[in-house]
Amino acid sequence: MTQARSWNGTDLRDMFAAGSNWLEKSVAEVNAINVFPVPDGDTGTNMLMTMRSVIEEADRSPDTTVAVMAKTMAHGALLGARGNSGVILSQIFRGLAKGFDGKNDFNGADWAKAMEQAAKTAREGMSNPVEGTILTVIKDAATVAQKCADKNPQDLIAIIEEAVQEAKESVARTPDLLPALMEAGVVDAGGEGLHILLEGALRFLKGELEDLQLKRHQMVTANISSAKSIHLVSSDEEEAYGYCTNFLIEGDSLDPEKIKRKLEGRGLSLVVAGDEIAVRVHIHSYDPGSILAYATSLGSLHQIQIQNMDDQHAGFKEMRRQKDLPTDIAVIAVAFGEGMIKVYESLGAVVVKGGQTMNPSVKEILACVEAVDSQRVLLLPNNKNIILTASQIKELTRKEVEVIPSRTLPQGITALLNFNFENTMAENVQSMSEAVKSVKTVEVTTAARSTQIHGLKIKQGQAIGIIDDADLVAAGDDIPTVLLESLIAGGIDAVELVTIYYGADLKTEQAEAVVKGLRDKYPGKQFELVSGGQPHYFYIVSLE
């Protein structure tokens, strides 16, 4: 039966409030299907914390039109976004707001249009969108919603019902698109989190209030044949050779997408962003002249920077390590662990507490940015799940803010040591970002669940070794053995300096004994032992 009625902003808020409550019941299960079984800032937790900010902001809105409510919810999502999944979720709400712009209420067709805009906005917000993630799930759900709306534009419940079913099937297909999911035997956590949110919203619209209170979501499982085998291919990091070329094009009727297509294949690390009147280009190329010649044909060029990355690499090694940062540029770092925080503060950084297990929100980082006296701020996220969160700050402050893409605490420390008070903001961004690439990080923690990754069988509770917060290389019952195996896999033979930060769960005597054994095994290398005091991680090691 067709439900020919309209829904307003209050309905939108209430359906997502129900979806948030529905998600809260399954946070642990969503966290458990993360590909890497580490006590990191988990997907379910990050999405729930983001949704709480959405609902808190919506509750304060006196306007019940769907346009204003959706915009208010999108603002709440942006301020409360935590981790990659939270930032992507905030982009989804931003897209919904675009789709509902100018409307007092909405029907099924309006919802389908807003879903399509949400999928588009979320994808456009990613520099390197990956299939088999939440991006795929929102795209598939939106496509089915639109098809249903074409047949029955008034029935919102029927349209969302079809979309939820497609989201479920899309989540189940994610292992076919991502080899890492296939090997781990799990579906994408972010995609499943979105599926749960939409399912909770649907149950609310259908009036299943008792089920929302007494039941819980049935998790989607990976439908993987035991006969299916895959081969993972690991790629080396891009080599920093050639010329780092940056410039701004100003002109009329510029087309960023066309410019991007023209420059693809002419270099690496291509980034093109802008609109019809101004486009920013960044590329690593052996032939910057031809790139500038093409760009000149489109308009006037400004802020041209061409730097030889070979010279930079040599120069970085000789940079003076500066502890006292200048007052005109502030460095804000995300860090956890009493000892780690002391290290960052001793180097002049302002610390936002967070990282593993609890990613700080956009709102928390923004508050710190606004609190410092400096009008120019460098951010060190020090965690792959916080980089996107930190990147949102630029649009929310009048201060000049740049993010150094540090993924680990040792990378952040090295970046901070490479800060030079004589350099400009742009020069420090360049040098610190390059310094991050020179550090290899080894972490030893505890497996949160049993799994298999890259052919390595892991039991819950075992010690596991991870390189650069990405590659799981060792597992076992003996912590020192796992540390040694991880250091070997991380290339300890080729480095000179090894800095070991031991965690809160280890005694000083235990860490000293481990370092003594390493010094005996590698007498030609310099070892430094520091009390990091970090929870969850027995050791965090910097290889330089």
DSSP string of 502-532?
A: E-TTS-HHHHHHHHHHHHHH-TTSEEEEEE-
pLDDT of residue 125: 66
**Cα–Cα distance, 418 to 333 (Å, whole number):** 14
Confidence of residue 273 (pLDDT cuts 50, 70, 90): low
Q: What is the Cα–Cα distance from 208 to 202, expressed in whole angstroms?
A: 9
pLDDT score of 80: 79
Give 43-101 pLDDT, tens digit per residue. Answer: 898 899 889 999 999 999 999 999 999 999 988 887 777 767 877 888 899 899 999 99
Helix (H, G, I), strand (E, B) or coil at 460: coil
Can you point out the beta strands (E) in 329-483? Answer: 329-335, 350-353, 376-380, 400-403, 440-446, 451-453, 456-458, 463-467, 471-476
**Which residue in 50, 56, 49 sits closest to 72, CA to CA?**
56
Residue 1 has pLDDT above 70, yes or no: no
CA atoms within 13 A on the CB side of 95: 25
- Does the predicted model carry a pTM greater than 0.85? no
Q: Tell which residue, 360, 336, 334, 391, has the closest CA to residue 82.
A: 360
H or E element at residue 293: helix 288-296
The share of the chain scoring above pLDDT 90, in percent, equals 59
Please name the residues in contact with 330: beta carbons below 8 A apart, sequence gap of 6 or more: 350, 372, 373, 374, 376, 377, 378
Query: What backbone phi and psi angles, to 5 degrees, belong to 185?
Result: 75, 30
**Over the stretch 156-192, which tens digit does the pLDDT of each residue have?**
999 999 999 999 999 999 999 988 888 778 899 999 9
CATH topology of domain 243-310: Alpha-Beta Plaits (3.30.70)
Q: How far is CA 62 from the centre of its chain?
A: 33
- Residue 355: CB partners within 8 Å, gap ≥ 6? 41, 334, 335, 336, 382, 383, 386, 409
Q: Where in the chain is the domain with CATH 3.40.50.510?
A: 319-437
CA distance 454 to 472: 8
DSSP state of 501: E
> If DSSP codes are grouped into helix, strand and coil, which group holds residue 331?
strand
Q: Tens digit of pLDDT for each residue in 290-326?
A: 999 999 999 999 868 776 755 544 443 343 334 344 4
What letter would DSSP give residue 490? T
DSSP E strand stretches across 200-289: 243-250, 268-274, 278-285
Is residue 441 within 8 Å of 534, Cβ to Cβ? Answer: no
The answer to whether 308 touches 243, Cβ cutoff 8 Å, is yes
Which is more confidently placed, 521 or 270?
521
Mean pLDDT, rounded, of the chain: 86
Could you tell me which CATH number the domain at 9-214 has? Answer: 1.25.40.340
pLDDT digits (tens, 9 = 90+) for 17-41: 999 999 998 998 898 887 655 544 4
Flag whether pLDDT at 229 surpasses 50. no
Asked whether the beta carbons of 19 and 201 are under 8 A apart, the reply is yes
Average pLDDT over residues 209-237: 61
Percent with pLDDT over 70 in the chain: 86
Structure tokens at 335: 């860090």
Outline which parts of the chain fall under CATH 3.30.1180.10. Answer: 440-543
Indicate whether 224 pLDDT > 60. Answer: no
Looking at the DSSP bridge assignments, the partners of residue 452 are: 457
Helices and strands (H and E) in the chain: how many: 21, 16
Q: How confident is the model at residue 439 (pLDDT cuts 50, 70, 90)?
A: very high
CB hemisphere CA count around 397 (13 angstroms) = 24
- Compute the average pLDDT of residues 202-221: 89
Which pLDDT value is given to residue 320? Answer: 34
Backbone angles phi, psi at 245, to 5 degrees: -115, 125
- The pLDDT, as a whole number, for residue 322 is 41
Report CA torsion sign: 211, 172, 70, 3: negative
Architecture of domain 319-437: 3-Layer(aba) Sandwich (3.40)
pLDDT band at 280 (very low <50, low <70, confident <90, very high): low
Distance of CA 25 to the CA centre of its chain: 24
CATH 3.50.50.60 fits 440-543, yes or no: no
- Predicted confidence (pLDDT) per residue in 465-478, tens digit: 999 988 899 999 99
**CATH 1.25.40.340 boundaries in the chain:** 9-214
pLDDT tier at 244, thresholds 50, 70, 90: low
pLDDT at 220: 92
pLDDT digits (tens, 9 = 90+) for 365-388: 999 999 998 999 999 999 999 999
- Residue written as token pair 């079913």: 165
CA nearest neighbour of 163 among 109, 123, 112, 93? 112
Q: What is the pLDDT of residue 32?
A: 82
- pLDDT single digits (tens) 386-437: 999 999 999 999 999 999 999 999 999 999 988 877 688 999 999 999 999 9
Per-residue pLDDT at 331: 95
| Exposure string for 358-386, b = 16+ CB within 10 A, e = fewer | bbbbbbbbbebbeebebebbbbbbbbbbb
The radius of gyration of the chain's CA atoms, rounded to the nearest angstrom, is 25
**Res 274: pLDDT:** 57
Backbone angles phi, psi at 244, to 5 degrees: -80, 115
Please tell me the predicted confidence (pLDDT) of residue 181.
86
The predicted structure's pLDDT at residue 271: 59
To the nearest 10 degrees (0 to 180), the angle between helices 256-263 and 288-296 is 150
Sheet holding 400-403, edge to edge: 350-353, 329-335, 376-380, 400-403
Pairing of strands 497-502, 526-531: parallel
pLDDT at 223: 64
Is the Cβ–Cβ distance between 108 and 153 less than 8 Å? yes
Supply 18's token pair.
């129900």
Residue 417 burial (C-beta neighbours within 10 Å; 0-12, 13-18, 19+)? middle
The three state secondary structure string of 207-226 is CCHHHHHHCCCCCCCCCCCC
Closest of 473, 514, 511 to residue 490, by C-alpha: 473
